[in-house]
Copies of this chain bind each other. A is one copy, B any other.
Amino acid sequence: MPVLVMKFGGTSVATLDRIRRAAKRVGVEVAKGYDVIVIVSAMSGETNKLVKYVEETSPLFDAREYDAVVSSGENVTAGLMALTLQEMDVPARSWQGWQVPLQTTGTHANARIESIPTDNIAAKFGEGMRVAVVAGFQGISPEGRITTLGRGGSDTTAVAFAAAFEAERCDIYTDVDGVYTTDPRICEKARKLDKIAFEEMLELASLGAKVLQTRSVELAMRYKVKLRVLSSFEEMNDAAGTLVCDEEDIMEDKVVAGVAHSRDEAKMTLVSVADRPGIAAAIFSPLADAGVTVDMIVQNISEDGRTDMTFSCPTNQVSRAEKAMEEAKAAGAINFAAVKADTGVCKISVVGIGMRSATGVAAKMFKVLANEGINIKVITTSEIKISVLVERKYMELAVQALHDAFELDKA
């Protein structure tokens, strides 16, 4: 029988009643003839509670014990989902990560999936079981310790199962009804997309559209898993949600698919850095060692052998970045006049695979922002994305203006 993967996030299994509603959706797919693999998150709030326990117990925790603790919420929902399905006379059982066994790397708290053996679950499907309920987010390391896949990791569990079982589709049930052209809370003209290309989704996910874990999109793209994002709070419907798929499967020929924004950006500038070969490495190696996630990097034109180096990083990493720079200066690795942090900025991006072949998108974007009187502080581009840093007070205005200019409200 064809296999379908259905993933339910924390809000979709937050109570016994919601688990029942999710199980009914599973029952509908079983009745259609699918063998279903259900991936469940922990009841919403549970994982946060466990993370708090760990952090209060041990601020610099052993990540192996962190994983042993925080993975337990998914075990509860997996068992309850299996029981709920059994109550509906759907033959089901639960699997924890180690029972599959879902093998991962040994990078605790942020492990990557290495392999998913299918024999065990496939054999049970062969014996008449119709639903395998798998605890998301968890696996085991080469040493046999429990690992977790990072926040949002159940999305990646779902896609990996879909790839391993060559599932017809991977449905991600969440609390939003799909992927939007932009954040509907900021721009009321935001429109739900019926389809979006993997590459676009990847950019949007890494730009802060928190619908899917970035890694799950990468994995879906690599293994050509048809991925659908839909709400567990709306009527079931084969056309519901947003399908994340190959660009060949998308009919629309919009150049820009969406506008993303991120509040959580700070702009850091090293003033008057000696401009010499190797200076970039001398700056960014200590930042990487200090765990600072550098996003955009801009180097100004050099004057008199000195230059300004600007980069962006998450707001809560500013003091860590400053400390790393001062230490590198003290150690004689770099030299600069001052390090300035600007936390009053935000990042606005336009994303679309059509930008590969279209020209003038960047020019249009800059003109739209100029017309609104918005000054651009930093620019970076990729093949299918243009991002700018602007003052945070202009965030809503910039998003709305760009959404209008690229006519994203029109299908």
Contacts and interface: CB of A to CB of B under 8 A. Distances in A.
The A interface is mostly helix, strand or loop, or mixed, namely helix
A58 B72 contact: no
Contacts of A75: 68-69, 71-72, 75
B57 A19 contact: yes
B99 A83 contact: no
A54 B83 contact: yes
Given A57-B83, A71-B75, A72-B73, 11 more contacts: A16-B53, A16-B56, A54-B83, A58-B84, A58-B86, A58-B87, A65-B93, A65-B94, A66-B79, A68-B79, A69-B76
A98 to B, nearest CB: 6
Interface string A72-103: 11011011101110110000011010110000
Contacts of A78: 68
A62 interface: yes
A223 interface: no
A294 interface: no
A145 B124 CA distance: 14
B69 A79 contact: yes
A192 interface: no
B69 A72 contact: no
Contacts of A69: 75-76, 79-80, 83
Interface string A27-70: 00000000000000000000000100110111001101110110
Nearest to A99: B144
Contacts of A83: 54, 57-58, 61-62, 65-66, 69
A64 B93 contact: yes
A57 B80 contact: yes
